[in-house]
Amino acid sequence: MDASPAMAVTDLRKVYGDRAAVDGLTLTVPRGCFFGFLGPNGAGKTTTIKMLIGLSTPTSGAVEILGLAMPAQAVEIRRRIGLVPDESLLFDHLTGAEFLEFVGRMYELPAAQARQRGRELLALFQLDGKDRKLIGEYSKGMRKRVAMAASLIHRPQLFLMDEPFEGVDAVGARLMKDLLLDQVRNGATVFLTSHVLDVVERLCDRVAIIHEGKLVVEGPIDELRTGAESLEEIFVRLVGAERVTETLDWL
């Protein structure tokens, strides 16, 4: 097995105008790890993921995914990663089965195999029986499920997920979590962002917290806890959020 980490990010910076969205991020994600990448809104999580998959060019710094350099080997990297696409990346006028077949074929699976895997994934995600329903007619949770199914179709070695559980019902979320844990047990790596901290706490081996583009802390989740502190408490303490004490008179 390749000894290189699943992901190695060195001094990554992305500057828009005079504002750094990501500022000197250095991070190593070992293979076979369930990694939580956390931060408040606007912290730079999505920008980081965009740079990791080559959708955005870093201002400076280096990214290596599964031992391959981004962006020089971008196509090869994309073949090996499973991205749970942002909802806006779905094609609303395709049915779930058509979308999965399309994604499979984009990963160069033969059409028949892509179709077959798509059907099986739809069944797994309890989306079968909606053959004629377009993705545009899906509920938010169903869209997340089909996006998750799309990330699995080519059996990737690394999953990159931006808020995969957002809007998913308890049954769907449980299914997705079990699937991801299975993948990790089989040697895959999961890198996810989420605002649902108790889910991250239960699933992840390691977490990194980013705030205003800078890495605040990174390490195994157990080592970050001091005493009985929950991940939520650690998070609030580190990003400096304060409890709102004032209320509006009219409210």
Q: How far is the CB of 201 from another protein (least distance, A)?
A: 29
**Max Cα distance, the chain (Å):** 63
For another protein, the closer CB: 151 or 183: 151
| Tokens (6 digits) for 185 | 């047990």
For 62-87, letters b (16+ CB in 10 Å) and e give ebbbbebebeebbeebbebbbbbbeb
Return residues touching another protein (CB under 8 A): 16-17, 21, 47, 50, 53-57, 75-79, 83, 85, 88-95, 98-99, 102-103, 105-108, 110-111, 134, 136-137
For another protein, the closer CB: 88 or 245: 88
For another protein, the closer CB: 75 or 123: 75
Residue 168: left if φ>0, alpha if ψ -120 to 50, beta else—which one? beta
Q: Say how many residues make up the chain.
A: 251
Q: List residues bridging with 222 in a β-sheet.
A: none
For another protein, the closer CB: 132 or 243: 132
Instruction: Give the count of beta carbons closer than 10 Å to the beta carbon of residue 197.
Output: 18
Q: How far is the CB of 195 from another protein (least distance, A)?
A: 19
| Tokens (6 digits) for 200 | 């991250």
For another protein, the closer CB: 9 or 224: 9
For another protein, the closer CB: 55 or 171: 55
| Tokens (6 digits) for 232 | 């939520």
Residue with tokens 């190695």: 8
Q: How far is the CB of 220 from another protein (least distance, A)?
A: 30
Q: How far is the CB of 159 from another protein (least distance, A)?
A: 13
Q: How far is the CB of 148 from another protein (least distance, A)?
A: 14
Residue with tokens 């806890």: 225
Task: Tell me the C-alpha distance between 119 and 111, whole Å.
Answer: 12
Which amino acid belongs to residue 175? L
Q: How far is the CB of 172 from another protein (least distance, A)?
A: 21
Q: How far is the CB of 27 from another protein (least distance, A)?
A: 21
For another protein, the closer CB: 28 or 116: 116
Rounded alpha-carbon distances, angstroms, from residue 123 to 91, 118, 128, 138, 155: 20, 9, 5, 16, 17
Which amino acid belongs to residue 49? I
